[in-house]
Chain A
C-alpha cells in the first residue's frame, strides 16, 4: 500500500510509515482501508457497445488478464456492478438505455469512457445518430483515448481509476458523490424526439468547454 496517498495521515510521513511496515506494523485508517478494498475489487458491467468491446473482452482474456487488477468479475446485471465501461459508439438510440443502466447501478459507481467514440463521437462524430460524447449525460471518471484503445490502455485506465478511488475522502466537502446529499445519483434519461434526443444534453453535467485562443 505504499502507493496510498500519505495525505491520510499528514502527521506521519511516508518514510516513517514504510519503515514501520518493514517492522511489521501497518498504520492505516478506516478511510484508507476502505478505499484500498474498493479500489481492488472494481466489478465492471458486462456491457459491450461496439469495436472497443472486443478489446475489452481481450483485456479480460489470457494475454492481458484484467484479473490481475481485481476486475475480472464482469457482471451482467447493473445491480451488481461498480464500473460502467462505455466501450464504443453511443448512438442516440442507445443513449436512454446507457443512462438507465447507469441509474440502475448502485453507488459508489464509476464510469470509464473507452475509446474516441465514447469520449466525443470519435470518427463517427458527424453522424446524425451518434451522441457526441457520453459525458453529456453521465459523469465520466476516466477517459481512454484510442480507436480502439489497446487492452493495455484499458488496464492503464483501470489503474488510474483505482488511484482516483484511493484518493477519495469519505468525509468533508470533497466527499464523493454518493456521500453527498446535494448530488443526484439519478440522472435524467433523455427521450426520443422527432429529430433528436430531448434534451440533447444534461446541462448540469456538460457544457461546451470555453474556447480560449492563445494570443
Chain B
C-alpha cells in the first residue's frame, strides 16, 4: 500500500471540498491517522472500501474518545531584545486559552482482500454538549453497528443514519454517558474492606458519617441507631444466620475516632445518624 501521505493527497484530489488531515502519532507504533470532516466521512469511507487498490473491506475497531475542554496556558516571551546586547527586557506574558472539547470516533480499517492496513480514520464532533452528531459508517461496514451503538451509549455521540441507535450496554432509562471523563459515578462505597487510593477517598465520606455509630458501638454514647451491632465471624465463609453485619478485620484505615472533632462536623452527612457526643 502507498504511504499515508499519498492516500491523503488522493483523497484530497477525489474529494476537493473535504478536509483530510494527517494526525501524527509520536509513539513508536507510528500508526498515524487521517482526520476527515464529518460531512464527507461516508463518501470517503465508501471510496476507501471500493477502490480496487485500496479495498478496505474490513472495519475492525471503532473507538470513542472523550476530549474535554482544557485550559492551556501559553507563555510568550517578548521578542524584543535590549539594543545594548543585554538580556531580554519586558515581562513574560501568560495567555490562557480554552481549547474546546470534542468527542472523537476512531475507525481502524484493514483490507482482508489485499491484506494491508491499518488505515485509521478519525471523526470529531463540534463540541461535547449539543453538536455531537456524526455520520454513521454502519451503511458502509456492518461491523460498526454494535460498536457505534456502544459509543452512543457510553459517550453520547449521535450517529445519523444508524439503523438501530439505542443504548446497548446500559439500560434504556439510563441518562448518563459513563465513559466521558466528567462522569460522576453513583456513590455506593458505604463499606470498603481494603480501601486505598481514590476508593479510600470515596469511602471516607461514608466512614465520617458512620463514625458516631461506631462510637456508639464502642459504648461512648448511648446506642440509639438502628444499625446492627458489630459481630465477629470466626469462620471464613459462613455468615451469621440472620445478620447482615460482617465485622472488619479491624485493620482498615478509618477516620480516627479519638481525633475527630466533637463539634458535630462529621455526622451531617448522614441525617439518620446520631450526633457525636464528646468523648470523656
Residues of A bordering B, CB below 8 Å: 93, 120, 125-126, 128-129, 132, 135, 140-145, 156-157, 160, 164, 174, 192-196, 200-201, 205-215
Does any Cβ of A come within 8 Å of B103's Cβ? no
Which label, helix, strand, loop or mixed, suits the secondary structure of the B interface?
Answer: loop
Which of these, A135, A193, A194, A209, contacts B230 with CB under 8 Å? A209
Q: Are B170 and A129 in contact (CB under 8 A)?
A: yes
Which of these, B176, B228, B237, B248, contacts A212 with CB under 8 Å? B248
A-B contact pairs, 29 of them (CB 8 A): A93-B169, A93-B170, A126-B199, A128-B186, A129-B170, A135-B244, A142-B238, A143-B238, A143-B239, A144-B237, A145-B237, A160-B235, A160-B237, A160-B238, A164-B241, A192-B172, A194-B176, A195-B176, A195-B186, A196-B186, A200-B186, A208-B206, A209-B191, A209-B247, A210-B228, A211-B252, A213-B250, A213-B256, A213-B257
> Across the interface, which residues of A come within 8 angstroms of B248, CB to CB?
209, 211-212
Stretch in B24-32, B92-100, B138-146, B211-219 with 4+ CB within 8 Å of A: B211-219
Does any Cβ of A come within 8 Å of B114's Cβ? no
Interface flags for B195-237 (1: CB within 8 Å of A; 0: not) read: 0001100000011001101100110000000011110000111
B249 CB → nearest A CB, Å = 9
CA A201 – CA B170 in complex, angstroms? Answer: 19
CA A19 – CA B73 in complex, angstroms? Answer: 88
> Across the interface, which residues of A come within 8 angstroms of B218, CB to CB?
212
Closest chain A residue to B247, Cβ basis? A209
Q: In B159-206, which residues have CB < 8 Å from any A CB? A: 169-176, 178, 183, 185-186, 188-191, 193, 198-199, 206
Does any Cβ of A come within 8 Å of B129's Cβ? no
Closest chain B residue to A96, Cβ basis? B171
Q: Are B174 and A210 in contact (CB under 8 A)?
A: no
Residues of B bordering A, CB below 8 Å: 169-176, 178, 183, 185-186, 188-191, 193, 198-199, 206-207, 210-211, 213-214, 217-218, 227-230, 235-239, 241, 244-248, 250-252, 254, 256-258
CA A213 – CA B214 in complex, angstroms? Answer: 8
Q: Are A192 and B217 in contact (CB under 8 A)?
A: no
Q: Are B227 and A142 in contact (CB under 8 A)?
A: no
CA A143 – CA B17 in complex, angstroms? Answer: 64
> Across the interface, which residues of A come within 8 angstroms of B256, CB to CB?
213
Closest chain B residue to A157, Cβ basis? B237
CA A93 – CA B206 in complex, angstroms? Answer: 25
B194 CB → nearest A CB, Å = 10
Q: Are A210 and B188 in contact (CB under 8 A)?
A: no
Which of these, B173, B217, B241, contacts A174 with CB under 8 Å? B241
CA A6 – CA B229 in complex, angstroms? Answer: 30
A177 CB → nearest B CB, Å = 8
14 extra interchain contacts, Cβ-Cβ under 8 A, other than A195-B186, A207-B245? A126-B199, A128-B183, A129-B178, A132-B188, A142-B239, A143-B237, A174-B241, A192-B174, A194-B173, A194-B174, A205-B244, A208-B191, A211-B207, A213-B254
> Across the interface, which residues of B come within 8 angstroms of A128, CB to CB?
178, 183, 185-186
Q: Are B175 and A195 in contact (CB under 8 A)?
A: yes
CA A209 – CA B254 in complex, angstroms? Answer: 13
Residue of B171, B214, B228, B237 ringed by the most chain A CB atoms within 10 A: B237
